[in-house]
Structure 1
Amino acid sequence: MQQAGEATKKTLTPRGERTRAALVAAARTVFERDGFQNSRLTDITAEASCSTGTFYTYFQSKEEILDAVFEMAHEDMLHPGFPHVDADDDPVVVLEAANRAYFEAYRRNAKLRLVLEQVSGISPEFRDKRRARGRVFAERNARQIERLQERGLADPDVDPDRAARALSGMVSRMAYNAFALGDEAEIDELVETSTLLWANAIKLASPVTRAE
């Protein structure tokens, strides 16, 4: 069943898009500052300089706008952008670039990840959505492992799905400890370690090395 907020989003005018975006940005500021449970709709509308009635034009509840905030962060982390690499480039270089982009995106969203931890502990709905969004990362990484195996650059005995889940979880936890919990690890250190562990786990080799 389609929610009212979802239907509204598809029919927004340019002005409506701007208002909705301002509400989402305001909500993110409030959630990151106060946490989910201590945040109020009036805090969000005050931050966005709009009325409560305007809020309900775009969202039905605090939970719905929180999900919109999470969705934007998810897209940022899933498609963070990184220096151009070609499909035929050294796969270790490609992996390193992808890890760096992920860590940088995670750092941008670290405060929000703490909010995600909070609501996942109290809401089965958000826990399910978190799990589903996490699967998107693991499935993308599994496809990449499969492509490397097809090129003869990764261990053919490694199960792509299981390896992707394990390695994605490892990198995510490294980022969480560094940026959400404040372990103060440098990105260069995180990138170097995660890339080495990824490469070793699937016995990743460069095309030149494999040909020798």
Structure 2
Amino acid sequence: MNETTPQDRIDEVPTLVDSSRVRELPTTARGARTREALVAAARRVFERDGFINSRLTDITTEADCSIGTFYTYFDSKEEIFTAVIQAAQKDMLHPSLPRVDSDLNNIPAILEASNRAYVDAYKRNARLNLLLEQVATIDPEFRRLRLARSAAFVQRSARWIKRMQDEGYADPELDPEMAARALLPMLGRMAYHVFALGDEGPDEDAIVSTATTVWLNALGIPRDGSKRA
């Protein structure tokens, strides 16, 4: 396995939230439990009603607490939404490609496993991913952070594609970044339509299998994982 560069070893995925929007965590165990209950209740309400239609009273009712208790921990609906995303973001959006230093013994299997991990994470957080689409249209700062996160995924995938070219597996004529920009949204949109919007068409296995085949074909990687002739 090749050594990675310092750039490859850093955390490549920017945050989805501005942590300055959320006040510091409570210092007591009781406070931490109350705040956690509010965040969990807010997630349920947001997923059920959408961000725009949700009210603070809906959240406090769901959490079985008073509005005064809410304001002990959060200033607004925007702040608790930020806390919801902050708690879930590590599980929500994973790059659909392995790290640059992944073993190359079986590229199709590696790619399929990575695509499946993405789809599984999307499915677990389908309603929250639908909320991301909604909030990105009304909150410029959230949209900026989301675009930065997407750009990081593109760069990470482009480095992986470049390595596939350098090792003799992928079509050397492709621009790695443009290929990543073209291919990355495909898996995300398929997962979005099926799990967030409720399209009853393809199942999880079909999504993963099709996405993996399209990636391999688009990059010119032989289906048996061998190097190009």
For the criterion TM > 0.5, the same-fold answer is: yes
Q: Compute the displacement of 1:113 (Å).
A: 2.1
- What residue identity is the alignment partner of 2:111? L
- What residue identity is the alignment partner of 1:75? K
Q: Compute the displacement of 1:63 (Å).
A: 1.1
SS at match of 1:122: coil
Query: Could you tell me which of 92, 95, 113 is aligned with 1:97?
Result: 113
- What residue identity is the alignment partner of 1:202? L
Q: Which residue pairs with 2:209 in the alignment?
A: 192
Q: 1:35 & 1:211 partners in 2: Cα distance?
A: 48
Q: Compute the displacement of 1:100 (Å).
A: 0.8
Give yes or no for contact 2:165–2:172 (8 Å, CA) kept in 1: yes
Give yes or no for contact 2:126–2:195 (8 Å, CA) kept in 1: yes
Q: Which residue pairs with 1:20 in the alignment?
A: 35
Q: Which residue pairs with 1:31 in the alignment?
A: 46
Q: 1:208 & 1:168 partners in 2: Cα distance?
A: 20
Give yes or no for contact 1:145–1:160 (8 Å, CA) kept in 2: yes
Q: 2:160 & 2:196 partners in 1: Cα distance?
A: 27
1:180 matched to 2:196? The reply is yes
Q: Compute the displacement of 1:78 (Å).
A: 3.6
Query: Could you tell me which of 104, 118, 127 is aligned with 1:111?
Result: 127
Q: 1:141 & 1:125 partners in 2: Cα distance?
A: 25
1:124 matched to 2:140? The reply is yes
Q: Compute the displacement of 1:4 (Å).
A: 6.3
Give yes or no for contact 1:153–1:204 (8 Å, CA) kept in 2: yes
SS at match of 2:52: coil
1:120-159 equivalent positions in 2, closer than 5 A: 120-159=136-175
Give yes or no for contact 1:78–1:137 (8 Å, CA) kept in 2: no
Give yes or no for contact 1:142–1:161 (8 Å, CA) kept in 2: yes
Query: Could you tell me which of 56, 72, 77 is aligned with 1:41?
Result: 56
Instruction: Indicate how the Cα distance of structure 1 residues 114 and 2 shifts in structure 2: closer, same or farther if over 3 A, else same.
Output: closer
Query: Would you tell me which structure has more helix in proportion to its own residues?
Result: 1
Per-residue CA distance 1:138-183 (angstroms, 9 max, x = gap): 2322222223223222222222222112211111111111111222
**Structure 2 unmatched runs, 5+:** 1-17, 96-101
Give yes or no for contact 1:4–1:60 (8 Å, CA) kept in 2: no
Size of the aligned set, in residue pairs, is 206
Give yes or no for contact 2:169–2:228 (8 Å, CA) kept in 1: no
Identity %: 56
**Structure 1 unmatched runs, 5+:** 81-85
Instruction: Indicate how the Cα distance of structure 1 residues 208 and 99 shifts in structure 2: closer, same or farther if over 3 A, else same.
Output: closer
Query: Could you tell me which of 28, 43, 67 is aligned with 1:52?
Result: 67
